[in-house]
Chains A and B, each alone.
Chain A
Amino acid sequence: MKSGSNLEKVLKGGHFAVTCECGPPRGPNPDDLIGKIDHIKGFVDAANVTDNPTASVRMSSVGASAILFRHGVEPVMQMVTRDRNRIAAQGDVLGAHALGIRNMLCLSGDHQTFGNHPHAKNVFDIDSMQLLHMVRTLRDEGKMDNGDPIDGKMGMFLGAAANPFADPFEFRVIRLAKKIAAGADFIQTQCIYDMDRFRKFMEMARDMGLHEKCFILAGVTPLKSLGMARYMNRSVPGMSIPQRILERMKGVPREAQAKEGIRILLEQIEELQQTEGVAGIHVMAIEWEEKIPEIMERARLIPRPQVD
Chain B
Amino acid sequence: MIVADQKPLHEVKEFVETHQKILVAGCGTCVTVCLSGGAAEARLLASGLRIAFQRAHHPKTIEDDTVLRQCDEEFVLPLLEKVKGEGFDAVITLACGVGVNFLADRLGAIPVFPGVNTTFYGAVMEPGLWAEMCSGCGECITHLTGGICPIARCSKRLFNGPCGGSEKGRCEVDPLNTPCVWQLIYDRMKELGRLHELRNIIPAKNWRPALDGGVRHTVRERIYRLEYKNR
Binding site for B on A (CB under 8 A): 82, 86, 108-111, 113-114, 122, 124-130, 133-134, 145, 161-163, 165-168, 171, 174-175, 177-178, 181-182, 190, 237-238
Let me know if A237 and B158 touch, CB within 8 A.
no
Give the nearest-CB partner of B163 in chain A: A108
A161 and B164: CB pair below 8 A? yes
- Contact check, B165 vs A130: say whether CB atoms are below 8 A apart: no
A-B contact pairs, 9 of them (CB 8 A): A109-B156, A127-B159, A127-B160, A130-B204, A163-B163, A168-B182, A174-B199, A178-B160, A181-B199
B207 touches A133 (CB 8 A): no
Closest A residue to B175 by CB, please name it: A237
Across the interface, do A130 and B155 meet the contact criterion of CB distance under 8 Å? no
Contact B169 A167 (CB under 8 A): yes
Within 8 A of A (CB), among B65-100: none
* Contact B162 A167, beta carbon cutoff 8 Å: yes
Bound-complex Cα distance A125 to B207 (A): 8
Q: Decide if A238 touches B161 in the complex (CB within 8 Å).
A: no
**CB-CB < 8 A to A134: which residues of B?**
204
CB distance from B199 to the nearest CB of A (A): 6
A129 near B160 (CB under 8 angstroms)?
Answer: yes
Q: Are B163 and A166 in contact (CB under 8 A)?
A: yes
Residue from B164, B165, B207 having most chain A Cβ neighbours under 10 A: B164
Q: Is the interface of B mostly helix, strand, loop or mixed?
A: loop
Output the nearest chain A residue to B200 by Cβ-Cβ distance.
A178
Knowing A86-B204, A125-B204 touch, does A166 contact B160 (C-beta < 8 A)? Answer: no
Q: Is the CB of B165 within 8 A of A171?
A: no
- Please state if B162 and A168 are interface contacts (CB–CB under 8 Å): yes
List B contacts of A163 (CB < 8 A): 163-164
Give the residue name and chain of the B residue nearest to A125 (CB).
Answer: B207
Give the one of A110, A168, A177 with max B CB within 10 A.
Answer: A168
Contacts of B161 in A (CB 8 A): 129, 171, 174-175, 178
Which residues of chain A are within 8 angstroms of B162 by Cβ–Cβ distance?
166-168, 171, 175
- B interface with A by C-beta (< 8 Å): 155-169, 172-173, 175, 180, 182-183, 186-187, 198-199, 201-205, 207
Given contacts A111-B155, A182-B201, contact A168 B183 (CB under 8 A): yes
Q: How far is the CA of A113 from the CA of B201 in the complex (A)?
A: 27
Q: Give, as a whole number of angstroms, the nearest-CB distance from A38 to chain B.
A: 31
Closest residue of chain B to A163 (Cβ to Cβ) is B164
CB-based contact B166/A167 at 8 Å = yes
Cα distance, A145 to B206, chains bound together (Å): 12
Bound CA–CA A177/B155 (angstroms): 23
Q: Is B156 a contact of A130 with CB atoms below 8 Å?
A: no
User: Do residues A237 and B169 form an inter-chain contact, with CB atoms below 8 A?
Assistant: no
Q: Is the CB of A130 within 8 A of B168?
A: no
- Chain B nearest CB from A69 CB (Å) reads 28
CB-nearest residue of chain A to B168: A167
- Nearest-CB distance from B196 to chain A (Å)? 9
List, in ascending order, chain A residues with CB within 8 A of B205's CB.
125-126
Q: Given that A82-B156, A111-B173, A127-B158 are contacting pairs, would A181 and B201 also be in contact in the complex, using a CB cutoff of 8 Å? A: yes
